[in-house]
Amino acid sequence: MHTQRGSSAWICLLAWPLCMSLPAQAQAQAQAQAQALSVPTATAQPARTPSSTELEGLVEAVRQSTVAAQTNGRVIHLHAKVGDAVRAGQLLATLDDREALAAAQQSAAQYEQADAALRSAQQQLRRSQDLRNQGFVSQAALDAAQVQYDSALAQKKQAVGANAQTGLAQGYSRITAPFDGYVRAVNVEVGDLATTGKPLFTLYAPQPLRVVVQVPASRLAAVMQAKNVQLQVGMSDSPWLQPTSKTAVPSADPIAQTTELRLHLAPADSTGLVPGQQARVRYNTSVSANHNDAATSTNALQVPQQAVVQRGELTAVYVWTGQAFSLRPVRVGSGSSGQALVLSGLRAGDKVALDPVRAANAQRP
């Protein structure tokens, strides 16, 4: 009996700290809950956000020309090189024109021959007319003189045309710039044989410029209807530019199933840009976050930016569970106007802490 009383005493002594700690823990939990209730919160709500898509494009000169040879000849001199600024009509290259010169001389001789034949036929026709009036020749002789004159006149007209054609052919040996611009490419060297239609130079005018992008057929309607289309040329920190107009080429690539979209730049925005630079085209289409179309909707929610906490590579928010705050990882996108766009990790109606520091402290009893 004595042993049993002693055991009970020892049990009371051992359980005494536990019995005393129960009210303290309950008090600490009550204080933590009260502290958590004092943390301001906001409700996650569906967001009507712009769905942004980027496409790759290239800067292109609106006015660009490939200067080709219009006659055959060997290149004997180049008067321009890549990067040179040229004026309309400026000489770019000279071809060997000896053959054209010989043809021009031959054509000139034929013209003189035709002119002499015409003068002789005209004189013969006048004599025949006088003799016919005097009754010395028949009407048949007069008609023959008239036919000879008409034939000589036609031959002279033919010689005039041939002479003009050889003059043009001789001028084709001088390659000139069609407009003011810059030489982008030189495709020949001195000594090369230039043939009819062979590209010799590529020229472009520095203004105006445009950005050309190949848009998939499934996105063309969205791009054309988008109110906010921007483009960026060069580095990622370059400013985003607003095109003055956009034009879709009314045809599609049969293999890639893309349509060419041309975005024209304002002269002030295209200063310093050159054809061939890579560009990024971004367009936004406003969609509802609870839309059923998975291609355009992100099912996104918006919460105040101050509710999002970053811990290393973890992005999270403190969500109120009814009794305490729980740290929950989320995936966020680019928001605006002080609102963070939460793509996943939250449900509509969840309450998040606006003061993450106080919410974290409220977790510790």
The per-residue pLDDT for 219 is 82
pTM: 0.55
At residue 171 the predicted structure's pLDDT band, cuts being 50, 70 and 90, is confident
CA–CA separation, 146 and 139 (whole Å): 11
List Cα–Cα distances, 172 to 11, 102, 165, 185, 196, in angstroms. Answer: 118, 14, 11, 20, 10
Task: Show the domains of the chain with their CATH numbers.
Answer: 41-47+295-362 (2.40.420.20), 53-63+205-288 (2.40.30.170), 68-95+173-204 (2.40.50.100), 97-172 (1.10.287)
Asked if the model's pLDDT at residue 365 lies above 70, the reply is no
Give the β-pairing of 48-61 and 278-288: antiparallel
pLDDT of residue 14: 46
Q: What's the whole-number mean pLDDT along residues 213-237? A: 84
182: its two tokens? 């810059």
Take residue 258 and report the two structure tokens written for it: 């893309």
Check if the beta carbon of residue 328 is closer than 8 Å to that of residue 319. Answer: yes
- Report residue 98 CA to chain centroid gap: 46
User: 77 and 93 in contact (C-beta within 8 Å)?
Assistant: yes
Nearest to 47 by CA among 327, 255, 332: 332
What is the per-residue pLDDT across 117-156, written as a single tens digit (0 to 9) for each?
889 888 988 988 888 888 888 888 888 888 998 988 898 8
| Residue 319 banded pLDDT, cuts 50, 70, 90 | very high
What's the CA gap between 65 and 88, in Å, rounded? 12
How far is C-alpha 261 from the geometric centre of its chain's CA atoms? 7
- The fraction of the chain above a pLDDT of 70, given in percent, is 82
pLDDT higher than threshold 50 for residue 178: yes
* Sign of the torsion angle spanned by Cα atoms 262, 266, 267, 273: negative
Is the Cβ–Cβ distance between 292 and 303 less than 8 Å?
no
Q: Is the pLDDT of residue 211 over 70?
A: yes
The predicted-structure confidence for 160-170, as pLDDT tens digits, reads as follows: 888 887 777 77
The radius of gyration computed from the CA coordinates of the chain, to the nearest angstrom, equals 45
The partner residues of 263 in beta bridges, in order of sequence, read 211, 246
Residue with tokens 């993450």, as numbered in its chain: 356
